[in-house]
A and B are shown apart, each in its own frame.
Chain A
Amino acid sequence: MSAGSSDNLPWWATGLLLPLVNVTLALLVSALVIFAIGEDPVGALGSMLRGAVGTGEGLGYTLYYATSLIFTALAVAIAFHGGLFNIGGEGQAYIGGLGVGLVLLALPGWPWWASLPLSVLGGAAFGALWAAIPGWLQAYRGSHIVITTIMFNFIASSLMVYLMVNILIKPGQMSPESETFSASLFLPMMADMMAGIGVEMSSSPLNFSLFLALLACVGVWAFIWHTRWGFALRATGANENAALYAGIDPRRVIVVTMALSGALAGLLGVNELHGVQHRLMLNFPAGLGFTGIAVALMGRNHPAGIVPAALLFGALYQGGTELVFDYPTISRELVVVIQGVVILFAGALEHMFRPALVRLFSRRPAVAASKPAGA
């Protein structure tokens, strides 16, 4: 995993250049796809860009998608630092959303600011539980976290269908959706908040959750790099035996890491349900849990990288919707292709790009340091 490679690249080469190369290549691949289906790549990518940031409304949507992606990407990143690949963000976000929904259904008439800590707690707790079980199974029973979290995604999906269809559905309704939360609970929309301080902003689903996401970024950064627990987490991720020798119990760290990861993924529910949909429904994570993997890989598993990467993918999501209007032959799944290619380049093929970069950089210092050849 990419959490701590030991070559002497300057920070901006790994932090900026490498992700930039990855994105450029991914965009090139998608340009090839657009070209192959007989459309104009430059025009199409331009239309995506306009759709994502060209209008106030588009920008709002971009930031709204980015909010969800920050949560799911932080979830992947924190697990990565603990040496775990959490592929189950989608399921954890789904179950986390259930927690958010249940809390809000139980608090009719509360003001939104009083309900927010509780809905955050509900989402985090449910998400944490759904991730801690695979964590526990890996730590104490030796089952592989990747397989277990994949299975938990499917189990989550079945469980939610059962609950929505049989129990939580609003009586006398066909589509499996719960009752709407009471209106006083709705998180304030960004456009309304801005209007309150006299700034005009187009209406979009962007809501208060964005601040929560940025707060989570700071929290994760402080936790991983500036707390004792964060040190234990990174030590376990780097070398379990060494961690054990240093008096850290890696098994406990694995369970806690997964719980934190799931809690972060569960917060997607705050943005989607507390912020926008205002009721429990099916399939609200809509693949954003998986996209979190791409965002985390591109952001090098660091909050400072995840925010721009989430913005980029938020822009791709929103741009994809606009693209379909201008170019009906191109479907919005093009974004999914780009996402896959980014994971391939930034994740699976990192060992192809990195050494090339190292060679490029070691040319000059190699002369100065003049290491003995063939040592």
Chain B
Amino acid sequence: MDIFLTLLSLLDSTVRLATPLLLAALAGFYSERAGVVDIGLEGKMLVAAFAAAATAAIHGSAWLGLGAGILASVILALLHGFACITHKGNQVVSGVALNIVALGLTAVLGNAWFEMGGRTPNLPADARFGEITLPLAEALRGVPLLGPLYFELISGHNLLVYLALAIVPLTWWIAYRTRFGLRLRAVGENPAAVDTAGISVTRLRYQAVLIAGLLCGIAGAYLSTAQGAGFQSNMTAGKGFLALAALILGKWKPVPTLFACLLFAFADALQTRLQGVALPGIGEVPVQLIEALPYLLTVLLLAGFVGKATPPKASGRPYVKDR
């Protein structure tokens, strides 16, 4: 029973840690499937986390914070679109630039506005997304096995966790069962064909980039107003790149991406628990190895040593109508 409860709490934190990765990875899904490489997931999450925490701290509302987070992230996404779609700039360079701007700007503004060394004030409970107890969770808690499972793992998360999980099937449906999704995928594979069919490549790519901004906005707000209670300088700490790795491991498909995010989050949750613990037969596993595992996996996968991940064909290339 004790092991069961430990496992449940491990899985519980896995879900919590996977949520921002999942939202950001899905953001990357829309952008990259439309042919716009998005190195800037990290930066968009960071500005969103800051805007959400700052707004929630001042106005005391988590919802206003979420709105501000999405707005900030969308502005950055539009800048990316302006550079890469309108002006056909290098998508990677633009992503790098926006990440760096986000890192600097959040630190400068945070320090100037709140004078707490780049942090925002701690948010009270009602300015955050609180945990939701699902119906009957308390009543069913006594049921063996399923009761604790329902109470610990499925119930008791905040709204954004459930939202993120719901966006996975929604994304699948949009991408594979709607006209918009078909066009979105086509524009990432062969924009010229889409253009020939009389559909605007520019418009589609902007739509994709905007959706990416929206999702990164939610991911950032989750970090600072749901999982955490305030913003800290560079609080994304590479999560945007981890999300990118998850998207690659998920081979640019929504459902496998979900599992990649869960895997990375599980490794993260495990790592805090494995610190200084000697495993039977293996000995003490270095925490740093578990930390580096997602990145190693991505490298091996991209090189075709573990399966094969093929990016959308037109990804990274600006579309030029005529030559």
* B93 & A330 in contact (Cβ 8 Å cutoff): no
A-chain residues with CB within 8 Å of residue B107 when the two chains form the complex: 331, 333, 336
The distance in angstroms between the C-alpha atoms of A155 and B291, with both chains bound, is 8
- CB-CB under 8 A for A347 and B104, given A144-B311, A158-B288: no
Task: Please name the residue on chain A nearest to B106 by beta carbon.
Answer: A333
Is A374 interfacial (CB 8 A cutoff)? Answer: no
- Cβ < 8 Å to A, chain B residues 83-140: 83-84, 87-90, 92-94, 96-105, 107-109, 111-113, 115, 118
* B97 & A347 in contact (Cβ 8 Å cutoff): yes
Interface stretch, picked from B174-182, B201-209, B241-249, B255-263, is B241-249
**Per-residue CB proximity of B143-178 to A under 8 Å, as 1/0?**
000000000000000000000000000000000000
- Cβ < 8 Å to A, chain B residues 224-270: 233, 238, 241, 244-245, 248
Interface stretch, picked from A65-73, A106-114, A348-356, is A348-356
Interface residues of B (CB under 8 A from A): 37, 39, 79, 83-84, 87-90, 92-94, 96-105, 107-109, 111-113, 115, 118, 233, 238, 241, 244-245, 248, 286, 288-289, 291-292, 295-296, 298-299, 302-305, 311
When A and B form their complex, which 10 residue pairs have the shortest distance between CB atoms, in order from nearest? A336-B104, A340-B100, A340-B101, A348-B94, A143-B302, A337-B104, A37-B112, A333-B107, A344-B97, A343-B97
- Cβ < 8 Å to B, chain A residues 318-335: 329-331, 333-335
A-chain residues with CB within 8 Å of residue B84 when the two chains form the complex: 348
* B302 & A137 in contact (Cβ 8 Å cutoff): yes
The distance in angstroms between the C-alpha atoms of A294 and B292, with both chains bound, is 27
The distance in angstroms between the C-alpha atoms of A144 and B311, with both chains bound, is 9
A-chain residues with CB within 8 Å of residue B241 when the two chains form the complex: 150-151, 154
* B105 & A147 in contact (Cβ 8 Å cutoff): no
Contact partner of A142 (CB less than 8 A), chosen from B83, B111, B115, B304, is: B304
* A155 & B105 in contact (Cβ 8 Å cutoff): no
The distance in angstroms between the C-alpha atoms of A320 and B304, with both chains bound, is 45
* B96 & A87 in contact (Cβ 8 Å cutoff): yes
Whole-angstrom distance between the Cβ of A349 and the nearest chain B Cβ: 5
The distance in angstroms between the C-alpha atoms of A290 and B248, with both chains bound, is 23
A–B pairs, 13, beta carbons within 8 Å: A137-B303, A147-B244, A147-B302, A152-B299, A293-B93, A334-B104, A334-B108, A338-B104, A341-B101, A343-B97, A344-B98, A347-B90, A351-B87
Add 11 more A-B contacts to A37-B112, A293-B93 (CB < 8 A): A143-B299, A147-B245, A151-B295, A329-B115, A330-B111, A336-B101, A337-B105, A339-B104, A340-B99, A341-B97, A344-B98
